[in-house]
Amino acid sequence: MSLFGTSPDESGAASTPAKSRQTLFDDPSPANGSQSSLFADDDSTPGGSPWGLPTPKKASKGEVISTLLPGGDTPDSYVDVFETVQSTEFGQSGTVDVAAMTRVMNAAKLGADQQARVMNTIAPAGNSLRRNEFNVFLALVGLAQEGEDVTLDGVDERRKKLPQPELHNLATAPEGLPGTSELASKPAQRPATPPTQSVHTPKSRETRPRRESIIDEDPWGSPALHKGHNHGVPQRAPAPHSTEGAVPRTNGSFEPSERTTSNFTTESVVESTNGSRESARESRPTPNNLWYSYDGNSPTSYTSGLPTGLEPNAFAGGLGDDPHRPPVSQNRAIGGGGLTGNGVEENILVTLLPEKEGVFMFQHHNYQVHSPRRGSKVVRRYSDFVWLLDCLHKRYPFRRLPLLPPKRVGAADSTFIEKRRRGLVRFVNALVRHPVLNQEQLVVMFLTVPTELAVWRKQATISVQEEFTGKALLPGLEDSLPPTLNELFETTRSGVRKSAEVYINLCTLMDRLAKRNEGLAADHGRLSTSLMSLTDASHATYAIDTNDVPLLNEGLLTTAKHVTDSQSLLQDEARAWDEGVLEDLKKQRDALVSMREMFDRRERYDKDNIPHLEKRIKSNEDKLANLRSRPDGVKPGDIERTTEAILKDKESIVAQHARGVFVKECLRDELTYFQDSQYQNFTPPHLSSSPLTFATMDHAPIPNAETSFADLMALEKVPGKDNTYMSKTPAWAAGGSWNSFGGHVYAQACWAAAQEVPEGLVVHSTHGYFTLPGKIDRPYIYTITHIGDTRYTCQRSISVRQPRRASVRDQEAQFAITDADGEMGDVRFHMICSFKIATPTLSAHQETNWGQQYNSSLGGKRPADFDICPDIDMPWYEAHIQKFPEHKTFPGLEIRKADCEPYNKGKPPGEYRQLHYYRRVGEMSREQPNLHAAAHLYASDRNSLFLVSKAVGFGDRLAKIASLGHSVVFHTDADEMLLEGEGWWTQEAWTTRSAGGRGLHESKMWSPSGVHVATTLQDGLVKKAEPGTVAMFEGFGEVFNGGDAEEGGTETSLDRAQLRESAKL
């Protein structure tokens, strides 16, 4: 008799107790039919049939717990423990509350995971336990001590001989619970008090139904209770047994053979699946390995999510899907060639949310996953990432699947949580950059569904069949694959194994180097403090003659200052190694380890039983011939059954052979994508030759081309400081440098001032003055001063500074508001901004037909037909961008440069013209016209002074170029300056004067409808390099285009110190 009822045919069923399992996916037995739920939840009908009789409702789990172990069936020790707990302050009115249960578990010396499992199992009984329910609780504690499965099934099986928990000093057991920092890294658990509800168990004549306790065994399962929700508990299907109920492999083959070919694969048959059943496997955390899949001995539930020796086509019908259902649309055509693309890579941001969720001691961290390209922000738990990877392992076992960071370590401190967040960043970005995985519906839903993933999982009906299920083998595909693919796979596999081990060691060494630098920095700080403390004792030490004491103290303080500077450099270098070089090494390590695991999965799962089927076909054909030769003694239906068996076996051979071809093609494409994606973009070392600066530049947190203008201009008010705002998103830098784009601070200063003006006022004019270059590794701090307010206008003054020290942050994240607390540097930019109210237009005039003069020169091209505006508008960079088109990145606005060379040919500098077309990236609200005005200011500074250099023919012989002053006047009200729709705005630019190392840049901003919206005037340094001196960008063309020292590269032709000095501007 079972605790939860008797099967219809208990005597004949395979009654071996189902082993407790922790896998994420327990797929149903074929006897249960197809399921419509992603997790094969019970559909309240026997076998999943809509025509079956409903299963009678059973007692709720809370009622089962209260009746499972009545007082008369328990040993005296259980009674003694209950009375002992009752005698303390925790027990009241014949009940035991959660605090008392915690004390008992601490006295039993249960670990945090065991305590969580016990609490999850006993949770439906409520927050306080009566005697009978406490008996079940003690039995669960005893099972945990003995290493048995902590389930109600285990208690039911041991009710004749209940376990005796060993409780040490129960009366004085520590009351404390595990710290929240430790619990933060635990796997996602169910809350302690899920709702009470009935559970329906599907019945089958082949297997006994799973017992109720399985709902507690899934460490990644979605919580049964969330805030504001009341969800049902998913019911899992029966587990395969290893004895009588063992499921044979496809078509009776128990031991898969190596893949072979057969003459049956040339026959044309109807597509069909093998009807195989997906077996399950336990999923257990790795006890001794931090990164569970690097040593090659990780549990296969993490590396594949599939059973060892899986039969071919075992993915059909997985996760409750009907194996005979038509497959979902394919991601790409068979034989479609390589997987690489030339588009701009998507960048996903993963941010740790500050508040934990959950009840009591089962709290967990949440992460915000932000996709700028999709415009989505969703909140996910770590267990949601685990669930997604497990699904992908089932659907794409022969693709390079990214790795997840570790589940937990001994202590979940802030360092571990940050490493996990970075690992999640690498994981999700590897997914969206994979040309096949980024099209998977599960990945898209994971990144875009705004609700809790646990809620969506219960409603989803997405297939996770293997991607090759139901695919037809196209003619010519097999012949198009090279015959030496297997040799290539083995060669690559051996190289990947060696490289993976090397990169694992490199990551360990780099981590040690970063930590040693941090230690050296700490010692430098102590040394500086000690030197400064000497100055306090100098007068007393040399009291006999104190005349030289001031000089002595000055020397000590100077030395201390230099030591402090060294400390700052060491800290910056350690951070650069940790956030830059180490992260790059980990990305490469993850890629290699994922390739290694892909080959390991191929070795396990790319097998077939074709030889066995051929033998069986031969035997059946002989049998069929024998039956036909003696028709008198043949039983009815024997010939038909034998013929059908032969046809099915032939169809299976064809399907398995086709799967083998698809696997080879898939592996070949994955190798191509893997090799094409392994490269490193090195920035030109023109700002500094020090390793620290180079590492910082190479990994500078530059926003990508998909960052919206609204996100780029995001501001946060600094607490405790009036009229002060801080930028949230790092500024863009041209050509990979660490000096930020001047248009960023120019536009954002105006937007910050707009926060301090009355509603309804729109910017009229801006006058900015650049004093120092901005850095991209720290935020801008905007301080707004009120100059004056009138009835129709107001004026604001904006001073902009940056912290003296770089922001301590990951390159994927925004700046933290704590950056504004540090010591500020000198003013880097100053602006005076004027705002006005809308006024009616009584009369207006402007020049007409302004664009007709360029029509013939532009050849009738539209703005979208021209190239993206280059980072640096100089001849050498134009050649570079042809070779490296991925460097065409500019956030916030899409700006394209018209080819005006035909128009400018033969004209003097004063008639030289340049056209830039621009439009917004991302949405911008009509209710924020000053943000639209800031976008025009942002575009007005794009490569402005380079026009002067090109007009006068400096070419690459620039000594200095820097903006000094920039003014913009708007001529329209708010409605005519809004960047709406897909229309292109135009900046028509020219130069009227250049002399004495200065250049003047002027431009007009035109709306898509031809309205003159704004006029700009910019003055700056534009100096030509004198003969015999080094130009500002000399040699950079060789650096970017692959030149080396022998061919005139930077090492032989550049004075590095002079370059750094000139690049400061």
Phi and psi at residue 970, in whole multiples of 5°? -95, 140
The one-character DSSP state at 433 is T
- Contact predicate 381/431, CB 8 Å: no
State residue 890's pLDDT score. 81
Q: What's the mean pLDDT when you consider all of the chain?
A: 73
CA-to-CA dists, residue 263 to 172, 610, 614, angstroms:
76, 10, 9
Residue where one domain finishes, among candidates 676, 695, 730: 676
What whole-number percentage of the chain has pLDDT above 90? Answer: 20
Highest mean pLDDT among 23-32, 75-84, 807-816: 75-84
Q: Are residues 776 and 905 in the same domain?
A: no
Q: Is 444 exposed, middle or buried (0-12, 13-18, 19+ CB in 10 A)?
A: middle
- Contact predicate 976/1013, CB 8 Å: yes
Q: Are residues 599 and 615 in the same domain?
A: no
pLDDT at 762 over 90: yes
- Which token pair is 950? 């090109």
- Amino acid letter for position 730: P
Q: Is 471 exposed, middle or buried (0-12, 13-18, 19+ CB in 10 A)?
A: middle
Please give the residue that has the higher pLDDT: either 19 or 593.
593
Whether residue 954 lies inside any domain: the answer is yes
Residue where one domain finishes, among candidates 811, 841, 871: 841
Question: How many domains does one find in the chain?
Answer: 6
**In the beta sheet, which residues pair with residue 608?**
257
Whether residue 205 lies inside any domain: the answer is no
Does the pTM of the predicted model rise above 0.85? no
Q: Are residues 358 and 501 in the same domain?
A: no
Q: Are residues 994 and 915 in the same domain?
A: yes
Q: Are residues 899 and 789 in the same domain?
A: no
Model confidence pLDDT, tens digit, residues 962-973: 899 999 999 998
Model confidence pLDDT, tens digit, residues 785-825: 999 988 889 999 999 999 988 886 655 568 888 888 888 99
State residue 1030's pLDDT score. 56
- Contact predicate 262/657, CB 8 Å: yes
Length of the chain, in residues: 1065
Lowest mean pLDDT among 422-431, 583-592, 881-890, 1037-1046: 1037-1046
Band of pLDDT at residue 887, cut at 50, 70 and 90: low
State residue 171's pLDDT score. 59
Lowest mean pLDDT among 423-427, 542-546, 807-811, 860-864: 807-811
The one-character DSSP state at 1018 is E
For 320, residues 6+ apart whose C-beta sits below 8 A from its C-beta are: 27, 28, 34, 35, 36, 37, 38, 39, 40, 41, 237
Mean pLDDT along residues 229-257? 37
For 671, residues 6+ apart whose C-beta sits below 8 A from its C-beta are: 488, 489, 492
Q: Are residues 398 and 525 in the same domain?
A: no
Phi and psi at residue 783, in whole multiples of 5°? -115, 120
For 212, residues 6+ apart whose C-beta sits below 8 A from its C-beta are: 3, 4, 61, 64, 152, 153, 199, 201
Q: Are residues 434 and 447 in the same domain?
A: yes
pLDDT at 407 over 80: no
**In the beta sheet, which residues pair with residue 603?**
none
Whether residue 518 lies inside any domain: the answer is yes
pLDDT at 29 over 80: no
Q: What is the CATH number of the domain that holds 751?
A: 3.10.129.10
Band of pLDDT at residue 43, cut at 50, 70 and 90: very low
Q: Which residue has the tokens 């009355």?
A: 758
Residue where one domain finishes, among candidates 183, 215, 230: 183
3-state secondary structure string across 553-612? HHHHHHHHHHHHHHHHHHHHHHHHHHHHHHHHHHHHHHHHHHHHHHHHHHHHHCCECHHH
Phi-psi label, residue 5: left if phi above 0, alpha if psi -120 to 50, beta otherwise: left
CA-to-CA dists, residue 1009 to 111, 859, 969, angstroms:
70, 20, 19
Q: Are residues 837 and 966 in the same domain?
A: no
Model confidence pLDDT, tens digit, residues 656-693: 888 888 888 898 888 888 887 765 433 333 333 333 33
Whether residue 426 lies inside any domain: the answer is yes
DSSP H or E run through 351 = strand 349-352
Model confidence pLDDT, tens digit, residues 694-730: 334 344 445 666 788 998 999 999 988 889 999 998 8
Whether residue 781 lies inside any domain: the answer is yes
- Half-sphere exposure (Cβ direction) of 362: Cα atoms closer than 13 Å: 27
Q: Is 188 exposed, middle or buried (0-12, 13-18, 19+ CB in 10 A)?
A: buried
Whether residue 191 lies inside any domain: the answer is no
- Contact predicate 741/941, CB 8 Å: yes
- For residue 126, the enclosing domain spans 61-183
Helix axes 582-605 and 485-541, enclosed angle (nearest 10): 150
Model confidence pLDDT, tens digit, residues 522-579: 999 999 989 988 998 988 999 898 888 899 999 999 999 899 889 888 888 888 888 8
Q: Are residues 464 and 320 in the same domain?
A: yes
Please give the residue that has the higher pLDDT: either 220 or 730.
730
- Which token pair is 945? 């002074």
Lowest mean pLDDT among 69-83, 824-838, 933-947: 69-83
Q: Are residues 471 and 428 in the same domain?
A: yes
- Show contacts of 924-930: CB within 8 Å, 24+ apart: 924/708, 924/709, 924/710, 924/978, 924/979, 925/710, 926/978, 926/980, 929/762, 929/974, 929/975, 929/977, 929/978, 930/750, 930/751, 930/754, 930/762, 930/763, 930/835
Mean pLDDT along residues 1033-1059? 38
Q: Are residues 456 and 384 in the same domain?
A: yes
Model confidence pLDDT, tens digit, residues 453-506: 888 888 877 778 888 888 888 888 888 888 888 889 899 999 999 999 999 999
What whole-number percentage of the chain has pLDDT above 70? Answer: 67
Model confidence pLDDT, tens digit, residues 307-350: 333 333 333 333 334 434 344 333 333 333 444 444 456 788 99
- List b or e across 774-808, with b for residues whose CB sees 16 or more CB atoms inside 10 angstroms: bbbbbbbbbbbeeeeeeeeebbbebbbbbbeebbe
Whether residue 635 lies inside any domain: the answer is yes
pLDDT at 516 over 70: yes
State residue 849's pLDDT score. 57
State residue 283's pLDDT score. 37
Whether residue 241 lies inside any domain: the answer is no
Lowest mean pLDDT among 48-57, 504-513, 728-737, 1002-1011: 48-57
**How many other CB atoms sit within 10 Å of the CB of residue 266?**
9
State residue 766's pLDDT score. 96
Q: Are residues 1044 and 970 in the same domain?
A: yes
Model confidence pLDDT, tens digit, residues 255-270: 333 444 444 444 433 3
Q: What is the CATH number of the domain that holds 314?
A: 3.30.1520.10
